[in-house]
Structure 1
Amino acid sequence: MMYSIASALALASTVAAHAQVYGVWVNGVDQGDGRSAYIRSPDNNNPVKDLTSADIVCNVNGGKAVTDFVSAAAGDKLTFEWYHDNRGDDIIAASHKGPIITYIAPYTETDGTGAIWTKIAEDGYDGSEWAVDKLIAAGGKADFTLPDGLAAGQYLIRQEIIALHESDAAYNENSARGAQFYPSCIQFEVTGSGSAVPDQDFDFNTGYTYADPGIVFNLYGSFTSYTIPGPEVWDGASSGSGSSATKTAAATKTAAATSAAAAETTAAAETSAAAVATTSAAEAVVVTTSAAAENTPAPTPTFSTIVTSAAVTKVESETTPVATATGSPSTGCGSRRRRRSARRSIKKLNGSI
């Protein structure tokens, strides 16, 4: 029942609900009535619903170039002033909630169809309020800023309201319903020293579809967010369509450099670890040997320990570990007498052999 009442109210307000652009303000300065002067104004304020129609781009008179241009510099604040029947009236029915989206394209005298558009501003649903609610509260004025780096030249700037009060069904399935589009295209002469050229190359006839969740949307259902249709807002500095590729390439280069650095760090760490392990092992051997040498007294040569057989010498050399003495040799009279006695014993043994 709630849905039926809401739908009935929306239908009842349809006749008095529509809107179009009256004029433009540049940095707060009114540029005057722009209808059919610098605005390619439609004959009436009826909505466009067919996404395959050329009218979805710049409305029914989008292909009729007008004589004037609004002059603005890159970085200027622009305000599009919307109205219903007369300037300053009810603007648009409060039931026509939805986003306000702004695009720019190189100037053309044609109807604006084709892949020439770049998104420069958008306002949708912030969790409690729609862009259309803000438009009504501001007396029909919707603000945005021209990108600072925008190259000088002539452009078409397109702003649209998408009213979602009947968007629960797709227009191609039910022509009595569907999202209502209110596009308006305005001719601009942009000045400045910027060099950035918008190039998202968005095409409304193929970029907007009936499968888009921002175009087929149940305004009366339960929701906490809304997906604005179209591309991301252009940053105004890098190329539009190329920005993602540039960022991807940069990310890939960074990842490769990081991986290489990580590999070098790992290899260095492994080499250092191996060196530490080897050094530690060598130190352990030295410590063990030194300890053994310190704890093992130097053998005293006696006759019983003198080698008399080559075979015995070989066996003993293979089976007896060598202790390395690290202390100073023994000194004193007793030691000298023992050495002389040992030498005499060796001489006697050699003589008997």
Structure 2
Amino acid sequence: MKFTVFVGIFAALVGVQGHTRIWGVWINGVDQGNGMDRYVRSPPSDVPIKDIKSAAVACNVNNRPVPKTLQVKAGDTVTFEWFHTTRGQNIIAPSHKGPVVVYIAPTSTNGAGNVWVKLYQEGYRNGSWAVEKIINTRGQHSIKIPNIAAGRYLIRPELFALHEADVPYTRNPNRGIQLYMNCIQFEVVTRGPALPAGVALPGAYKYTSPGIVFDIYTSSLSNYSIPGPAVWSGSAGGSIAIARTSTRITTNQLSIGRVVDPPPTSEPGAQKYQQCGGNSWKGATTCASNLTCTKVNDYYSQCL
């Protein structure tokens, strides 16, 4: 009995400690700096989305415009960087095995409707899951920007964790597939054909879809089918690898093209929606004026 209770508590702690979200991106090997709430539409915490019918499936919670938009051109390599508590470490719990996918949609849609086009996916291949490979690359994987019409787009990397996907969330809300996604603001400055129609998120994932309910412990892993549509034929591809250079840019260099930083604030403390506490947190623990450091769970507090 004691052993069963211990296993349950341990599994719960691993689940909490093993979550993830996007720190920032690299463009052609150049680190664009911390993108959270700047060019990444960051959720307030790294907890997963489990209800695949939720509106949060589009861009996670807090889907709202952020100050920056990164400029890219067709053929550029964009590398996404995931993290949990420390950049480059603790990306996601090793138990959270599963695939990775990347979608794109026009920013003007805010992710609503049949607008999401899949650019990349990788599941179980050569004895390893995509998430396992991303852990080994310190949270990094990449796509190439396809030849598409100039304009502003949301690019949406997503990880699936299948360690509890043996039953659907609707049957047991304590289990079910875990979805981790963030939307990142880009502007494509080269000219190409229009992006085709896509799928709706939520909508493309169903509890009857292959890959949403899947037991990774008893099933043949080579038979796993990644959820969602096929990769668009116009995609320029992607890979799971560390960005080729280690160049980093300063905050002042982060502005790209016509998009600039908002005026700096002289107020001390973390700003709205930024983290201000939690176990192992080493950053700011106070908030700017008129904001309160609000506990979300033992591992995350944010300024609201």
Fold match (TM-score > 0.5): yes
For 1:67, the aligned partner's letter is P
Q: Which residue of structure 2 lines up, in the alignment, with residue 160 of structure 1?
A: 158
Q: Which runs of 4+ in 1 moved over 4 A?
A: 4-10
For 2:44, the aligned partner's letter is D
Q: Which residue of structure 2 lines up, in the alignment, with residue 231 of structure 1?
A: 229
Normalising by structure 2, report the TM-score. Answer: 0.72
Q: Which residue of structure 2 lines up, in the alignment, with residue 33 of structure 1?
A: 34
Q: Which residue of structure 2 lines up, in the alignment, with residue 219 of structure 1?
A: 216
Structure 1 position 200, deviation (Å): 3.4
Structure 1 position 51, deviation (Å): 1.3
Normalising by structure 1, report the TM-score. Answer: 0.62
CA contact (8 A) 2:109 2:115 kept: no
Alpha-carbon distance in 2 for matches of 1:74, 1:9? 46
CA 1:177/1:212 → structure 2, altered by over 3 Å: closer, same or farther?
same
CA contact (8 A) 1:162 1:181 kept: yes
CA 1:86/1:98 → structure 2, altered by over 3 Å: closer, same or farther?
same
Tell me the secondary structure at the aligned position of residue 21 of structure 1.
strand
Structure 1 position 129, deviation (Å): 0.4
More strand by share: 2
Q: Which runs of 5+ in 1 are unaligned?
A: 238-353
More helix by share: 1
Tell me the secondary structure at the aligned position of residue 154 of structure 1.
strand
Q: Which residue of structure 2 lines up, in the alignment, with residue 102 of structure 1?
A: 102
CA 1:230/1:7 → structure 2, altered by over 3 Å: closer, same or farther?
farther
Tell me the secondary structure at the aligned position of residue 211 of structure 2.
coil
Structure 1 position 224, deviation (Å): 3.5
CA contact (8 A) 1:10 1:165 kept: no
Q: Which residue of structure 2 lines up, in the alignment, with residue 273 of structure 1?
A: none
CA deviation string 1:131-186 (max 9, x = no partner): 10110000110111111x22211000011111000000001111111000011000
CA contact (8 A) 1:36 1:66 kept: yes
Over the aligned positions, Cα root-mean-square deviation in angstroms equals: 1.9
Tell me the secondary structure at the aligned position of residue 226 of structure 2.
coil
CA 1:193/1:175 → structure 2, altered by over 3 Å: closer, same or farther?
same
CA contact (8 A) 1:10 1:95 kept: no
Q: Which residue of structure 1 lines up, in the alignment, with residue 114 of structure 2?
A: 115
Q: Which residue of structure 2 lines up, in the alignment, with residue 84 of structure 1?
A: 84
Alpha-carbon distance in 2 for matches of 1:7, 1:99? 25
Which residues of 2 match residues 271-282 of structure 1 at below 5 A? none
For 2:51, the aligned partner's letter is D
CA contact (8 A) 2:99 2:160 kept: yes
For 1:81, the aligned partner's letter is E
Tell me the secondary structure at the aligned position of residue 57 of structure 2.
helix
Q: Which residue of structure 1 lines up, in the alignment, with residue 60 of structure 2?
A: 59
Tell me the secondary structure at the aligned position of residue 95 of structure 2.
coil
For 2:217, the aligned partner's letter is Y
Q: Which residue of structure 1 lines up, in the alignment, with residue 149 of structure 2?
A: 151
Q: Which residue of structure 1 lines up, in the alignment, with residue 207 of structure 2?
A: 210
Alpha-carbon distance in 1 for matches of 2:95, 2:8? 9
Q: Which residue of structure 2 lines up, in the alignment, with residue 247 of structure 1?
A: none
Q: Which residue of structure 1 lines up, in the alignment, with residue 23 of structure 2?
A: 22
CA 1:48/1:125 → structure 2, altered by over 3 Å: closer, same or farther?
same
For 1:16, the aligned partner's letter is Q
Q: Which residue of structure 2 lines up, in the alignment, with residue 137 of structure 1?
A: 136
Alpha-carbon distance in 1 for matches of 2:11, 2:229? 29
Please identify the structure whose Cα radius of gyration is greater.
Answer: 1
**Larger relative contact order (Cα-Cα within 8 Å, sequence gap ≥ 6):** 2
CA 1:7/1:98 → structure 2, altered by over 3 Å: closer, same or farther?
farther
CA 1:106/1:12 → structure 2, altered by over 3 Å: closer, same or farther?
same
Tell me the secondary structure at the aligned position of residue 134 of structure 1.
helix
Alpha-carbon distance in 1 for matches of 2:73, 2:162? 34
CA contact (8 A) 2:39 2:70 kept: yes
CA deviation string 1:16-48 (max 9, x = no partner): 100000001011111111000000000000000
For 1:218, the aligned partner's letter is D
Residue 71 (structure 2) pairs with residue 71 (structure 1): yes
Tell me the secondary structure at the aligned position of residue 31 of structure 2.
strand
* Among 156, 173, 177, the residue aligned to 1:179: 177
Tell me the secondary structure at the aligned position of residue 205 of structure 1.
coil
* Identical-pair percentage: 46
Alpha-carbon distance in 2 for matches of 1:170, 1:6? 22
Alpha-carbon distance in 1 for matches of 2:109, 2:85? 27
Alpha-carbon distance in 2 for matches of 1:151, 1:9? 49
Q: Which residue of structure 2 lines up, in the alignment, with residue 125 of structure 1?
A: 124
Structure 1 position 89, deviation (Å): 2.0
CA contact (8 A) 2:99 2:226 kept: yes
